[in-house]
Amino acid sequence: MSSRDHLHRAPARKTPAAVPGPGEGPSPETVLPPPIPPQAPLTPEVKLFLDFARVEKGLAANSMESYRRDLTEFSAFLQRLGKSPAEVDRDDIRAFLKGLYDRGLGARSVARHLVSVRNLFRFLLREGRLSGDPSAEIEGPKVDQSLPWYLSSDEVDLLLAQPDVSTPLGLRDKAMLELLYATGMRVSELVHVGAADIDKELGIIRCLGKGSKERLIPVGKSALRAIEAYLLAGRAVLAGKRNPPWLFLNRRGGALSRVGFWKILGAYGRRARLANGITPHLVRHSFAVHLLERGADLRSIQLMLGHSDLSTTQIYTHVLKERLKEVYQSHHPRA
């Protein structure tokens, strides 16, 4: 039995690639050329867009890095063509996408590049630097809709029982795991929670999400009890003589990093014999699926997860449908 057999997932729904088309994708033997170097020059228009995304839209560092990487490749492509963004037409963009396929990129990566290019041209159009948007009528690749893995309620209980709460670090870890599952926060949000962000009386936590958007998330009693225990007997020991603003501290009294939490979570997952690939996002998926299974409405889950678009949250309805099919097939006498 593989480690993934401990996790639950509905089968992915297959959809064919659209543009540039299945026949234009790479073969398994495709040899990937070296990536475009980070010092590849950006066009002035791309620099302007990146400044706009960073300053005015307030995008997170990960989103900015994704835009920069994609548009660096697009800038290098335009340089080879000898064109500026104002001179680009639809066929040029299609050629760019086909080139990505030829380099061995999958449909999901190609689709992400197209989103970056579209946002660039929409920005330039709004700024009056273009008379039309050459990306507007290009259909994106159809990617497989992979349904997320998630843990069962029993497996979550097993995971949450792993920390040794007789130590300051164990109290911290217990509080972090409980809060992660209670709120479905992203790991970047979890490690930046401030000690003053929790209102124990109201049972809510203030969370600063993507794009510096603030939201309030309910916190259950189990998580609040774990946080209270950590505050009483764990955090002060880790803080020492310092007075750091963060709720969750490392051994030296500083802020716990994203990578640090990934390692902690992975170690507890292995100790619980759940899987080698336990990640913060897996717990986030489990939070959403369990809420939906128990009757929560999609809009409420969207708000708690911090999704800007309801369509992102709708993936969990597909998980629930597949789960119902599985239950029917397993238990109905004439299935």
Residues noted as catalytic: 186, 210, 281, 284, 307, 316
In the Cβ-directed half-sphere of 17, how many Cα atoms lie within 13 Å? 18
Closest CA to 205 of 220, 216, 194: 216
Cα 12 from chain centre: 18
Distance CA 69, CA 63 (A): 10
Is-contact 180 284, C-beta < 8 A?
yes
- What does R_g of the chain's alpha carbons equal in angstroms? 23
Distance CA 12, CA 30 (A): 25
Helix, strand, coil percentages (3-state) for the chain, rounded to 5, are 55, 5, 40
Distance CA 16, CA 116 (A): 22
Distance CA 335, CA 332 (A): 5
